[in-house]
Homo-oligomer: A and B are copies of this chain.
Amino acid sequence: MKLSRRSDYALRAVHHCSKHQVGRLHSINVIAESTQVPREFLAKILKDLTDGGILLSHKGIKGGYTLARKPSEINFLDVIEAVDGPMYLSLCTEPAAGKRKKHARCELCTFWTAQEKSIKQTLRKQHFGRYSKGRK
């Protein structure tokens, strides 16, 4: 079980923006350098975060990204689901998709349903106001 690389990098990018004054523009180059995420991969992630309502993209030479909401109003689950879609811990909790049928209920379902609920709750509680040093 692990966080996807996309989510890991997305959390770092939002963490970077949360540490600075609300409204401050962050260029992709500065975020890439600060988070050590390859620029091309980061561009895709920033697009997903913008589409997902976590960041605002400002065009132009002096453009860049700002948080779309206060850091305290963005939590870890918001960021993970913005780049990876709805989080399902196991096949036991995943709904049917495409050709795949919904997994028939099994003895492991109870465990994974409870774990998913607990982990999502923890990720929802972990907001970026914690890292914004008085700029919540």
8 Å CB contact of A126 from B5, B111, B122, B123: B111
- Asked if A90 and B1 sit within 8 Å, CB to CB, the answer is no
Copies of this chain assembled into the complex = 2
Asked if A8 and B126 sit within 8 Å, CB to CB, the answer is no
Bound-state Cα–Cα, A5 to B104, Å = 16
In the complex where A115-B122, A119-B119 touch, is A2 in contact with B107 (Cβ < 8 A)? no
* A123–B90 alpha-carbon span in the complex (Å): 13
Q: Are A2 and B89 in contact (CB under 8 A)?
A: yes
A11 at the interface (CB under 8 A from B): yes
Interface string of A89-115 (1 = CB under 8 A from B): 111100000000001101110011001
